[in-house]
């Protein structure tokens, strides 16, 4: 992933970046790839994905990494910031014929130093269960492709289970499997179990136990990614039809929905405490959705092309004692129920344990900052802070084009409205967003687009006089058709929501199986053409449905955009705060496909097959003995 010399500075690869907590540095000796380190020719191949597991090794080096590159699958000891990677000794390597691995997932419950359970999904629809330590292949599911013939887009073990796993396909269907059951020699017959707004759940009719246990059909087009909530009770699904749908998993009840600004949603993740969901996709935005309120609370604009991965950083998310929020729109009961939501969940992080204990009798509520990141096809990494001014809106502000005035605190918002103000302090650490690589991946704009991104640290309680370039822009009114927050307790496994997702006429048409995500030339060229014309939010008037409709590829999509834009499903751009990234750096030559936050580092990967480790501030010294300046790649230090 070394930068090529002689290129323009704006197209050079960054090898470190700075945030308020310090400097993140690329560890060139901790790069994982194919043993020959030759960049992979990624044309027409499936995205490179990375999975981690800890096997509780007595030596203290229990991390294991799995990644796919083209037809190949590798399994290594992951040494992270401690030691340099030894690519000559993979624990396991597999090369597949006729199909390519597309995604994979370890089961953390069953992992030991002698055995791990790894699920691998494939482009032809099969799912394999392998043990790369024992080098065994125990089972192959959907082997005859009788269950689903389309590409596997996402595979996950069901949290807390040693045998159940969920598989999503580009057909728009998800299937629940049990590793103990066989798949049968004939196509499964299904019986309707539950049907709702543009989704249905079927059980498999069989005299004996067989896979799949359940079939979910969700939305229209491919189901690109799903993610379980931290407590395992809810399931968030990002679909090609642009909808985020959140279900109570056990009861198969729809909890809430959100619509992208335009295009499909490609990725989704939960905050560590389960309160917020972030989704990204073909609108180049990251969208933050409140689980308890079932509404969009912010959007982030920093990418110049499709957002491929979003992830929360559980280590940087902070909880501190602070002043109470100035205003909460709605009743005290709603406020306390929102704050107490999920208080019974097990927390992996002590900060979130403190967050869950916040209640109505606490006179000193906590101050919260969530950190999340995103990577995209524009080869850029963005880091974002979701701060208290967004999470707990204050009184409304007047909005102008040139600057933001501090609120005059004269008129409280009407009941039921939710308004947002910003309290952001911009530090001196201002950088210029790098333009995209000259090698354009699908949907990447090749023009120089020098938009400035302010790197900021946000003390939650500071109120500057003016905010000429704030990290979030306020709005003056609530979204039309204001939402009523749905308040739930952590014990609820199902919920109902009054808002209709889409017209009943669409439900009657059933679930279409038209779209896959394999990038055929015609689809690729069409999206690239449209995307270059409308690559930036600056080119899109949020009040113009005509321009939005140009980006829709079907009559159905046009109708949905017209119906949802300006509603709580998809607020207009001026109706919600617009975040700017703390960091926005070009870190690869090819589109980025992986972003994972670990305790000592963050891990990224690009389509060329290079898996890179970025040491957190203060952690880089652990590898100092391995750093040899003569072997470091050329790159720009910023």
Q: For 432-450, what is the HEC assignment?
A: ECCCCCCCCCCCCCCCCCC
Q: Where are the beta strands (DSSP E) in 229-333?
A: 234-239, 243-248, 253-259, 265-270, 276-281, 285-290, 295-301, 307-312, 318-321
Peptide bond into 212 cis (omega under 30): yes
The SS3 of residue 351 is helix
The SS3 of residue 409 is coil
In the chain the first and final C-alpha atoms are separated, in Å, by 17
Classify residue 304 as left (phi > 0), alpha (psi -120 to 50) or beta. Answer: alpha
Closest CA to 290 of 483, 83, 118, 491: 483
Cα–Cα distance for residue pair 82/428, rounded to 1 Å: 32
Report CA torsion sign: 12, 637, 18, 63.
positive
Ramachandran angles phi, psi of 130, nearest 5°: -130, 160
pTM of the predicted protein model: 0.69
Closest CA to 447 of 377, 532, 537: 532
Per-residue burial over 253-265, b if 16 or more Cβ lie within 10 Å, else e, is bbbbbbbbbbbbb
Residue 278's pLDDT is what?
Answer: 98
Cα–Cα distance for residue pair 61/76, rounded to 1 Å: 12
The SS3 of residue 356 is helix
322 in Cβ contact with 367 (< 8 Å): yes
Closest CA to 73 of 114, 41, 120: 120
Q: How many of the other CB atoms lie within 10 Å of CB of 18? A: 17
Distances (CA, A) of 556 to 219, 240, 502, 505: 12, 13, 11, 11
CA angle 178, 92, 42 (to 5 degrees): 90
Classify residue 146 as left (phi > 0), alpha (psi -120 to 50) or beta. Answer: alpha
Ramachandran angles phi, psi of 602, nearest 5°: -120, 150
Distances (CA, A) of 392 to 343, 366, 386, 406, 433: 18, 12, 11, 16, 29
Residue 10's pLDDT is what?
Answer: 61
Residue 165's pLDDT is what?
Answer: 98
Order of strands, sheet of 136-141, starting from the edge strand that comes earlier in the sequence:
101-106, 118-122, 127-131, 136-141
Residue 483's pLDDT is what?
Answer: 38
C-alpha 76, offset from chain centre: 25
Cα–Cα distance for residue pair 73/48, rounded to 1 Å: 10
Ramachandran angles phi, psi of 463, nearest 5°: -130, 100
Residue 393's pLDDT is what?
Answer: 76
Residue 57's pLDDT is what?
Answer: 76
Walking along the chain (638 residues) 10 residues at a time, the average pLDDT comes out as: 46 90 94 89 85 86 94 94 91 94 97 95 97 90 96 98 98 97 93 95 93 97 98 98 97 96 97 97 98 96 97 86 42 42 39 43 61 97 94 57 35 40 38 37 39 38 36 40 39 38 32 34 43 42 40 46 82 95 96 96 96 93 45 38
Residue 409's pLDDT is what?
Answer: 36
């Amino acid at each position: 992933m070394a930068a090529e010399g002689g290129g323009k500075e704006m197209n050079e690869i960054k090898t470190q970046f700075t945030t308020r907590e310090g400097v993140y540095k690329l560890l060139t000796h901790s790069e994982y790839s194919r043993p020959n380190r030759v960049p992979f020719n990624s044309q027409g191949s499936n995205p490179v994905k990375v999975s981690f597991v800890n096997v509780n090794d007595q030596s203290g080096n229990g991390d294991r990494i799995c990644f796919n590159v083209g037809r190949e699958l590798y399994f290594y000891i992951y040494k992270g910031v401690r030691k340099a990677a030894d690519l000559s000794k993979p624990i396991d390597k597999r090369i597949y014929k006729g199909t390519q691995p597309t995604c994979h997932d370890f089961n953390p419950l069953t992992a030991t130093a002698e055995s791990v359970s790894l699920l691998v999904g494939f482009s032809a629809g099969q799912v394999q269960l392998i043990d790369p330590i024992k080098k065994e292949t125990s089972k192959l599911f959907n082997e005859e492709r009788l269950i689903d013939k389309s590409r596997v887009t996402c595979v996950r073990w069901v949290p807390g289970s040693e045998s159940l796993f969920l598989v999503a396909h580009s057909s728009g269907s998800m299937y629940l499997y049990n590793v103990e059951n066989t798949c049968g020699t004939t196509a499964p017959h299904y019986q309707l179990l539950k049907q709702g707004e543009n989704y249905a759940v079927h059980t498999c009719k069989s005299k004996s136990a067989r896979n799949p246990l359940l079939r979910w059909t969700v939305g229209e087009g491919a189901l690109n990614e799903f993610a379980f909530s931290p407590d395992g009770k809810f399931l968030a699904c990002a679909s090609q039809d642009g909808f985020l749908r959140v279900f109570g998993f056990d009861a198969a009840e729809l909890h809430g929905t959100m619509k992208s600004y335009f295009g499909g949603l490609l990725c989704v993740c939960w905050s560590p405490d389960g309160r917020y969901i972030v989704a990204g996709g073909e609108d180049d935005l990251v969208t933050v959705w409140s689980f308890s309120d079932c509404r969009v609370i912010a959007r982030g604009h920093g990418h110049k092309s499709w957002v491929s991965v979003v992830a929360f950083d559980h280590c940087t998310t902070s909880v501190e004692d602070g002043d109470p929020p100035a205003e909460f729109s709605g009743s005290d009961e709603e406020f306390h129920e929102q704050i107490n939501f999920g208080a019974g969940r097990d927390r992996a992080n002590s900060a979130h344990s403190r967050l869950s204990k916040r209640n109505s009798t606490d006179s000193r509520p906590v101050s919260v900052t969530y950190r999340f990141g995103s990577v995209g096809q524009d080869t850029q990494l963005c880091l974002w802070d979701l701060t208290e001014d967004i999470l707990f809106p204050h009184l409304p502000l007047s909005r102008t084009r040139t600057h933001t005035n501090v609120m005059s605190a004269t008129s409280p918002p009407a009941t039921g409205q939710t308004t947002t103000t910003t309290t952001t302090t911009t530090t001196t650490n201002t950088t210029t967003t790098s333009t995209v690589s000259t090698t354009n991946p699908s949907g990447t704009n090749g023009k120089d687009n020098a938009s400035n991104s302010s790197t900021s640290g946000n003390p939650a309680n500071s109120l500057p006089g003016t905010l000429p370039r704030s990290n979030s822009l306020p709005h003056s009114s609530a979204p039309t058709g204001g939402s009523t927050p749905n308040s739930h307790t952590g014990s609820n496994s199902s919920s109902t929501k009054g808002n209709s997702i889409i017209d009943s006429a669409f439900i009657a048409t059933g679930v279409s199986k038209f779209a896959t995500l394999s990038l055929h030339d015609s689809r690729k060229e069409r999206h690239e053409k449209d995307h270059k014309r409308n690559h930036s939010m600056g080119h899109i008037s949020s009040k113009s449905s005509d321009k939005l409709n140009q980006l829709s590829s079907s009559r159905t999509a046009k109708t949905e955009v017209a119906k949802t834009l300006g509603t709580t499903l998809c607020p207009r751009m001026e109706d919600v705060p617009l975040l700017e990234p703390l960091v926005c750096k070009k870190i690869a030559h090819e589109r980025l496909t992986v972003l994972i936050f670990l305790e000592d580092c963050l891990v990224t990967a690009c389509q060329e097959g290079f898996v890179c480790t970025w040491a957190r501030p203060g952690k880089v010294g652990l590898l100092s003995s391995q750093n040899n300046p003569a072997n470091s790649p050329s790159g720009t230090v910023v």
